[in-house]
Amino acid sequence: MLRRNIWDHADYQCPIVGTCLTCNDLREVAERVGLDLSAGSGDFDVHTLFVGLCKRPDRPARAVQKLLDRKHRRVLRLFLKARDDEAVWALWREHADRGEIPGALWGVMCNPTVSENMLRRIYGEVHMLSHLLGAAQGADLRRLRALEEESAALAAALAERKTLLRQSIAAWKERHFNLERQLAQERARREAVERERLSLRELVETKALAVLGQERDALREQARELQERLAAAEDMVLRQAGQLEQGVRRTARLEQALAERDREVEALEAALLESLDQVPCSGECGHPETCPCPRLRGKRVLYVGGRSGLKGRYRLLAERFGCELVHHDGGLEQSPHRLQQLLAGADAVVCPVDCVSHEACAAVKKLCKGCLKPVLFARSSGLSSLASSLAELDRVCQ
């Protein structure tokens, strides 16, 4: 066997499609092979569709493989020359350290000599990279603080530049006034010399006339130089004014972006803190107008997937919203039949797309559509994402 095809793998179509191709690549392939995507198909729907199609050696899978070969042909040639796991691992480390994950992953998956243990080892590295996205939230906060410090520094620099510009303008005005005065004096002097020349023209027809002409030319040259210096000074001031305007616009854009980021962070933290500080609703208060969660009170929410270590906190957070949360691990240990039983008794479903299988997502979507129950696909499996989803359910369950 010269190489492995994408459909020769039993379980690796998802990382291949998700890592080695973009969603735009998949949509172009769908258009090329005549797949009819619905108008509301999101990136996740397109990804799930192609993961299933690439398990069979049909036209869509062959088109995807052809695009992968063309897109990563340089790296693919290197990996196909490797003859054992040690050589493949050395190539993988070299490309992974440079951040060239997509081409290297496709090269590994196409090499027929790679053992199953090596495939699982490399797949594990790629899979764990997705978990680093959660840690990126802390980096975002650090970048936000850095942006705040940068904004303050820019504001101070802008104030300093404004002061320097005002001083430059004042110096330019003073210099301009002096040049105007000198120019006026030179003009007056030239006019006086011209009058003197006219009066002496008829009297002096000797060498003195040539000397007077030279003096006149020197005065004219001085006047021309003064005018050129004045024009150069005006051009310099205009350039400085343009640079100042650009700095003001950039500062305004940075301040606007910082304000929008502050609003997003404050809204998310406020929603989480408010929900955690509220007293759990027992459902027997008898005062719905003052209840902290009048709409979710008494509801049962099914949470499919997520991190097993946070199940207790998931339930505690749901209690803060006045509802009961039941959990299904998305098929890791619990059966799909158990998922149907839990969904039958639930009022709504929340499914984090970053910590659940594609099959579980598809099953939840199909079952909720069949029984007309609301379902939210959360961005992540963190507590803040669950708080946002429960707040959205609280809004729609009125």
Could you tell me what percent of the chain has a pLDDT over 90?
22
Question: Do residues 172 and 264 share a domain?
Answer: yes
* pLDDT at 289 exceeding the cut of 80: no
Q: Is 153 within a domain?
A: yes
- Between residues 232 and 360, which one has the greater pLDDT? 232
Mean residue pLDDT across the chain: 83
Q: How many angstroms separate the Cα of 334 from the Cα of each of 303, 308, 354?
A: 13, 12, 19
Domain-embedded: residue 81: yes
241 and 319 share a domain? no
**Domain, as residue range, for 364:** 300-396
User: Are 256 and 145 found together in one domain?
Assistant: yes
254 & 211 share domain: yes
Percent of the chain topping pLDDT 70: 85
pTM recorded for the entire structure: 0.36
Q: What is the pLDDT of residues 172-212, one digit of tens each?
A: 999 998 999 999 999 999 999 999 999 888 776 777 667 87
**What pLDDT shows up at residue 231?**
93
Burial of 92 per CB tally in 10 Å (0-12, 13-18, 19+): buried
* Same domain assignment for residues 266 and 310: no
126 within domain boundaries: no
User: Is 243 found in the same domain as 160?
Assistant: yes
Total structural domains within the chain: 3
Q: Is the pLDDT of residue 33 over 70?
A: yes
pLDDT of 396 reads 74
Q: What is the per-residue pLDDT across 362-395, written as a single tens digit (0 to 9) for each?
A: 888 888 888 888 888 888 888 888 888 888 888 7
In this predicted structure, the answer to whether residue 41 has a pLDDT above a threshold of 90 is no
Boundary (domain end) residue, out of 277, 308, 330: 277
Do 192 and 252 fall within a single domain? Answer: yes
Establish if 342 belongs to a structural domain. yes
pLDDT at residue 343, rounded to an integer: 87
The per-residue pLDDT for range 69-99, each reduced to its tens digit, is 999 999 888 888 888 989 889 989 998 888 8
Which is more confident, 106 or 290?
Answer: 106
Q: 85-97 and 101-110 helices cross at what angle (nearest 10)?
A: 170
Domain identity same for 144 and 272: yes
**The pLDDT of residue 221:** 92
Assess contact for 378 and 352: CB atoms under 8 A: yes
| pLDDT at residue 294 is higher than 80 | no
pLDDT tens for each residue of 231-281:
998 989 899 999 999 999 999 988 876 765 554 445 455 555 555 555 555
3-state SS string for the chain: CCCCCHHHCCCCHHHHHHHHCCHHHHHHHHHHHCCCCCCCCCHHHHHHHHHHHCCCCCHHHHHHHHHHHHHCHHHHHHHHCCCCHHHHHHHHHHHHHCCCHHHHHHHHHHCCCCCHHHHHHHHHHHHHHHHHHHHHHHHHHHHHHHHHHHHHHHHHHHHHHHHHHHHHHHHHHHHHHHHHHHHHHHHHHHHHHHHHHHHHHCCCCCHHHHHHHHHHHHHHHHHHHHHHHHHHHHHHHHHHHHHHHHHHHHHHHHHHHHHHHHHHHHHHHHHHHHHHHCCCCCCCCCCCCCCCCCCCCCCEEEEECCCHHHHHHHHHHHHHCCCEEEEECCCCCCCHHHHHHHHHCCCEEEEECCCCCHHHHHHHHHHHHHHCCCEEEECCCCHHHHHHHHHHHHHHCC
State pLDDT tens for residues 114-153.
888 888 988 888 888 766 644 544 455 467 667 878 888 8
CATH classification of the domain holding 354 = 3.40.50.720
Model confidence pLDDT, tens digit, residues 328-359? 888 778 888 888 888 888 889 999 988 888 88
